[in-house]
Every structure is written in C-alpha cells, then in structure tokens.
Amino acid sequence: MSSRRARIVRWITSWYIRRVDVRNADVYKIRKRLDFIGRLLIRAFGVRVERTTIAGLHAEWLRPKRAPDDKVLLYLHGGAYVIGSCRSHGQMVSHIARAAGIKALVPEYRLAPEHKFPAAIEDCVAVYRELLASGIRPENIVIAGDSAGGGLTVATLLSLRDAGDPLPAAAVLLSPYLDVTASGESATTRADQDPWFRAEDMEVVVSNYCDADEVRNPLVSPVFADVAGLPPALIQVGDDEILLSDSTRFADKLKAAGGTVDIEIWPEMWHVFQLFIGKMPEARKAIDKIGAYVRDLYTPAESSNT
C-alpha cells in the first residue's frame, strides 16, 4: 500500500490538475500551473544551479558537489510537448543529479503548439551534439526524460542512431509518453485509476504537437519504432497510469531486439510521481534507484582502471 503522504499528494494534485479543462484550456495558463507546482518543491542540498545557453536554447546546469566534469545527465523535461521548463522540473532533476553523482543539463527545447513536430527533437539532437563537440564522450552521457520528455529521449536516440552519431551510455525513462494514439490496453484498464489523465486528453496533445497523419511516426510514437541498437534503459512507471502500456510494450520491444532494459512498475503510483521528491517516500526511493543505476554504469569501468 502507498504511504499516507503519497495518498495526500495524490488527492491534492489530482484535484488541482482535474480542474483544468484540457480541451479548452489556455496553454500559457497551463504552463504557469506546472511551473507553480515546481516552485513548491525544494532543490537538493548542495546542488548549484547555473544558467546557460546551449544550441541556442536556454538551459540550466545542476551541479552536485564533487560531481565530475566529464559526465553528464542530459534531462529532457516532460509536459505533453506543450508545457514544462527548468522551473517546473529543475528541483526534481537536482535530486536525480545528486543521487547519481553527476551534473545534469536541462534544456528548454521549443514547445508546441508554437513549434510542432519535429522542432523539439531537432533541439534535443542539437544539444546532444553540442555536448559531444564540447569534449564530452558519448559513453559519459546518459539521456533521461519524463512523460513527453521520455518520448523525446527515445526519439533523440532513434534520430542519432539513424544519422550515425555515437549513442550515449544509457537512457532513463520516467512514465514515458511513447504512444500518442493511446492504443495500449492500460488506456482502458487504468482509466478509473489514473488520477491525472484521461485517454481522450491525448487527442488534444496530438492536435497541438503534430498532424493527424503523423501519429504512428516512430519519432512521435516510439512504440512503433525499430529499436535495434539502442543503448540500455531504465524505465520507471506507475501501475495506476493510463500510459503504463507505453512502458511495458516498449520494454518488450527492446528485449525482443536484443537490448537491455530494466523496468520498474510502482504499485499505486501515478504519472511521474518522482516529481514529488521531498513530499512522499516513494519518490525518494525511486530517485535513489535512478541514482544507483547511473552510478553503476561507471563504477566497473572506473574500478578496472585503478
């Protein structure tokens, strides 16, 4: 059973989010709402924030104490491709960076509906390439993202693979949004359990982000992609969210293609519950697991060189 604090957070946030009429909402007001939630959270102790520009985009570095200069967590924020920013996600990412012991970069890619598909993917690819150009080795980069940021993470990996770019060490996906067609069974089986979303809301995302004939494009809905050759991945997803099938189907595809994937399905948790780090123990446990996963990527190599 989820903790009492988690049940309280679930009720408060679901009440707050359900007040928004997604179909008729002003996107600028929704952006302010998500940024407001982010301001209620606390940055991880000892993590310094540095504002910067990369690939022409505003971004923030989140630097834990004693984090090495040669390793980077490139974090792509979520928000259905239309909302999200350093303000909404920076606090959570600071905790992930501290748990992993490496610095994190959060770029503010272009948002829809002002900039539709493939603008956000182009931005994320450009940021990754600029990191390489700065001297960061691909094996020292982990790309991570939540919700639509998880979709962008996979789309970025697919774009880099197809272009012949060197791929990062791994990917970390938090409740990734990988199927804008909402064709997974959890869109139905979790409809009464998900405190945040309804399957019909996905139609609004599609209308904002891409044309109707692009919904099965592998870069828009990576569950339909050829995933051969992608790097190892960690997936965390809540058992109560309608996007659960996005994660389970994608994990199955990675395994079938010979890839390596660890998938964690968290009981009674909802979409990107990790956002509420400091408010409930489940978020802390999940982020600690992400940190351990990233640290383990580098520990064997570093040990063998000593």
Provide the annotated active-site residues: 147, 241, 271
Judge contact between 60 and 49, C-beta under 8 A.
yes
Residue 41, amino acid: L
> Residue 142 in 3-state DSSP?
strand
**Strand ranges (E), 231-276:** 233-238, 261-266
Q: Which amino acid is at 150?
A: G
Rounded Cα gap, residues 173 and 210, in angstroms = 22
Cα–Cα distance measured from residue 291 to residue 71, given in angstroms and rounded to the nearest whole number: 13
Q: Are strands 57-64 and 103-107 parallel, antiparallel or unpaired?
A: antiparallel
On the question of a cis peptide bond just before residue 68, with omega within 30 degrees of 0, the verdict is no
User: Nearest to residue 259, comparing CAs of 285, 229, 303, 223?
Assistant: 229
Tokens of 75: 């974090």
Which residues are CB-contacts of 305 (< 8 A; sequence separation ≥ 6)?
A: none
Distance CA 60, CA 244 (A): 30
Q: In what order do the strands lie in the sheet with 141-146?
A: 47-54, 57-64, 103-107, 72-76, 141-146, 170-174, 233-238, 261-266
